[in-house]
Every structure is written in C-alpha cells, then in structure tokens.
Structure 1
Amino acid sequence: MKYRSAFDIIGPVMIGPSSSHTAGAARIGRVARTLFERQPKKVVISFYGSFAKTYKGHGTDLAIVAGLLDFDTFDERIPNSLTIAEELGMEVIFQTEEAVPDHPNTVKINIYDDKNEMEVVGISIGGGTIEITEINSFKLKLSGDPAILVMHQDRFGIISCVTAVLSKYEINIGHMEVARKEKGEMAIMVIEVDQKIEDDVIEELRGLSYVSRVIRMVE
C-alpha cells in the first residue's frame, strides 16, 4: 500500500480509540452505504480476525453502523450510532466468524432493504486507510478515493466507451480494474481518478449501452 501523506499513517481526525479499528471501520461502513445508494433497512455485520476479537472494546461495531448511517470519522454521534440506527428503523445484527481472513481487520457487511441486497467485504489497513475487496462476490480493490463503479454487461467495447467519456472530460485515471464472474455476464469496473467527477459525467456514463449502474464514491 502506498501512502500519499503522513496523515495516512498518523490517521484521520476521528472519534474513537483506534484509527484502524474505529476510523477505518467507519469508512468501510460509509463506503458500503454509498455503494447501496440508500439507507438500509437491515444490516448483518460479520467480523473476522482481529475485528472479531476486539470489536466491542475498540468501538468497531459503533463505527461500522455510524458509517452505514453516513456519519464521517469525526462525527460526535458515533458513540450513539446503535441507538440512532434503532430510532431510524435499521435492524443491526453482529456476528463473529472463525474463518481466517487474508487480512486480520476484515468485515463483511450484508445490506438489505425491501427490494435490494448487497454484500460488501472491506479491510482496514491502518491509519484509517481502507480497501473494499469484494462487492457481491466480485473480487476487486477499491480504496475509497475519488472513484466510480460501473456495473455493466461483459460486452466488447464497453471499457473503451467508458474511458472515452472520461477522456472527453479530461479526467485522469489513477487506477482501474475490471472483474467478472463469467464471460458475457455481469461485470464491474472500478476506476479511481485524480479529480472530482461531476454530475454530467455520471449521467453520460449511465447512458452508455449495456451499463446498468454507475456509482460515484464518497470523496
């Protein structure tokens, strides 16, 4: 992992005792909320490794739920996030897993509302820095930096159409990867960029053939 500044190591401005177990957890929850694009009705939060052993003492549970409520790492409501979630009608279930993860600070979040569901796996790698490693079983790498996710059918030319739109608006790509489960089926592009992505760019991408969803990440 390449750090961009000393603040990636020291950690962010935050509520909580640990940049990896609290601030990082809040960021994972907030990215999951962004990916789901709405307030969940129910979440099942599964902790692995170090998270599973220490989540109560480090406030990881409070932080994940705070992120799912769209609270930032420094939001003073984080200690009361479980109460706030209950007041908003969001059911929260915590569970610990015995499986040994690739990274010790791993959480899987299953998110539901009346019609939709999503599964997000994230890791907290220190200093409040995170990576999303799976979305609905698609393996990927998403850091939470300015980025877009493009969900599309696996068809010839889709990648070039997407990058052509970004080039048109002079948006520089810092990192990009494509994941698919089977040839010709659903695929996901993860594109991290160097600048803010405006609404007109998102709308043009959504209008491309075979593109089903375009999600702009929290910046």
Structure 2
Amino acid sequence: MGSIFDILGPVMVGPSSSHTAGAARIGMVARQLFGRQPEKATVYLHGSFAATGKGHGTDRALIAGLLGMKPDDMRIPDSFQVAKDEGMEFSIASKEIKEAHPNTAQIIMEAEGVKPMKIQAYSIGGGRIRVCKLDGIDVNFSGESNTLIIRNVDEPGRIKEVAVALANAEINIATMQVFRDKRGGYAIMVVETDQIVPQKAMEELESKRGIIRVKFLAAN
C-alpha cells in the first residue's frame, strides 16, 4: 500500500519532484555519507538529468544537497552562489553511464584529510532516490529508513561483529544487505535499524580491525 507521500509528493522547491527534489536528496545523502561538506565536488549528469536537468534545476539542487539543503529549502535556486560563498568548488558535466537509470547523478567528493568518495544514485520520482553504487561497489538502498552503512574488508567475522555491537547497544536490525566488489576484497554492509544508532556504537565499530568507515543515515 502506498503512503500519502506517494499521492501528494514531497514538500519541495520546484519545478520537478524527480529532477529537483530527488536531485537535492541525492546531494544531501551524498554529503551525509561523506561525513561533511565536501571542499570539492565533481558532478556528472546522465540521461534525462543531463538532457533537461538545467531547466529543471537539477544541477542547482544537487549542489544544494551537498551544502546540506533539504528539498524545501528556498535557497536551492541560489545554491551556486552559496557554494561559492562557502568555498566549495564544484564542476558539473554530462556523462553517458552504461546501463544507468535515466535520472542518474554521479558525484565525487573530496576534502583535505578525508578519503575521496564516489557515489552514484538515481531519482525514482516523488522526491525518492536509490543509491546504486558507492566507491565502485554495487549497492541498493534509499536512506528513507534508519540506515547504517559500513565499509569493510571482506573477511570472516565482520558481519558477526556488527550484529553483536548493535545488540549490545540495544539496536534491532530490520534488514541487512551485504555487497562486495570481489571475494576477499572490499564489502559494504547496509543495515536498516529500528532505532537511531548512537555515536558510541559507531565509534566502537570503526575501531575494529577490517572496518574502514561507518556512517549513519537517520530516517527522514
């Protein structure tokens, strides 16, 4: 059964829930996964995002999301100037991405002292999105629920460690997906939880051998 959100759509700055609100959310989720506002962002637009994105404000919405603006922020049309004022460098270009959804954006984020991150996501309408690649690894999540994202080395024991740490913090796991680039390579755990994961639990996980990065997306 759909929600009232599906019928009415998101509260947003227009003109398009797919090309504007969805784009802003892609940028916002990318910023959350990066853990801070990037100092430099390289944005690629694919398909209809590239063809009609400028007219629909897709480019400005993506930058707005990277600046921490939500889809209803009235500053979205001025996001380029806000980025300039805040010292965030950015570039936007069109790119053909093989087998990608028409409403796809690819974002590379950089900042001093932080490992660069590359995210690919697409808008599915109504302001909703799906993240489909993270640092070259195929993933599949929306971030609509409380979502813990864990980047780790693909080796035995990592899933158990995460489950035990969350149980100790009295966090219930709703769903868990595991993605990897290759056997014994790197993996990404996507864990949807019923509760907010406390910072202490995330720090405990990050301190464990083989776990590279831990980020949390709160439901919104």
Q: 1:28 to 1:36 in 2, by over 3 A?
A: same
Output the CA distance in 2 between the equivalents of 1:50 and 1:218: 29
**Alignment partner of 1:49 is 2:47:** yes
Paired residue total: 217
CA-based RMSD of the aligned residues comes to 1.8
The 3-state SS of whatever aligns with 2:93 is strand
Q: Aligned AA for 2:5? A: F
| Mapping for residues 13-52 of structure 1, pairs under 5 Å | 13-52=11-50
- TM (norm. structure 1) is 0.91
Q: 1:7 to 1:163 in 2, by over 3 A?
A: same
Q: 1:99 to 1:208 in 2, by over 3 A?
A: closer
Report the counterpart of residue 203 of structure 1 in structure 2: 203
Output the CA distance in 2 between the equivalents of 1:210 and 1:126: 37
Report the counterpart of residue 103 of structure 1 in structure 2: 101
Report the counterpart of residue 128 of structure 1 in structure 2: 127
Q: Which deviations, in whole Å up to 9, do the C-alpha atoms of 1:20-70 show, x marking residues without a partner?
A: 111111110011111111221211111111111111111111110000001
Q: Which deviations, in whole Å up to 9, do the C-alpha atoms of 1:141-162 show, x marking residues without a partner?
A: 1211211111112121110111
Q: 1:91 Cα deviation (Å)?
A: 1.4
Unaligned runs of 5+ residues in structure 1 are none
The 3-state SS of whatever aligns with 2:197 is coil
Output the CA distance in 2 between the equivalents of 1:119 and 1:127: 24
Output the CA distance in 2 between the equivalents of 1:13 and 1:78: 13
Report the counterpart of residue 172 of structure 1 in structure 2: 172
Output the CA distance in 2 between the equivalents of 1:99 and 1:199: 36
Could you list the runs of 4 or more consecutive aligned residues of structure 1 that deviate by over 4 angstroms after TM superposition?
none
Unaligned runs of 5+ residues in structure 2 are none
Q: Aligned AA for 1:89? A: G
Q: Aligned AA for 1:205? A: L
Output the CA distance in 1 between the equivalents of 2:151 and 2:80: 32
Preserved contact between residue 33 and residue 68 of structure 1 (Cα < 8 Å): yes
**Alignment partner of 1:157 is 2:130:** no
The 3-state SS of whatever aligns with 2:54 is coil
Output the CA distance in 1 between the equivalents of 2:6 and 2:116: 32
2:59 is aligned, of 61, 75, 78, to: 61
Output the CA distance in 1 between the equivalents of 2:71 and 2:61: 8
Preserved contact between residue 43 and residue 106 of structure 2 (Cα < 8 Å): yes
Output the CA distance in 2 between the equivalents of 1:65 and 1:204: 32
Output the CA distance in 1 between the equivalents of 2:215 and 2:97: 31
User: Greater CA deviation, 28-37 or 92-101?
Assistant: 92-101
Output the CA distance in 2 between the equivalents of 1:14 and 1:70: 14
**Alignment partner of 1:192 is 2:192:** yes
Q: 1:170 Cα deviation (Å)?
A: 3.5
User: Greater CA deviation, 91-100 or 126-135?
Assistant: 91-100
Output the CA distance in 2 between the equivalents of 1:185 and 1:51: 32
1:84 is aligned, of 82, 87, 90, to: 82
Question: What is the aligned-residue identity percentage?
Answer: 44
Report the counterpart of residue 148 of structure 1 in structure 2: 148
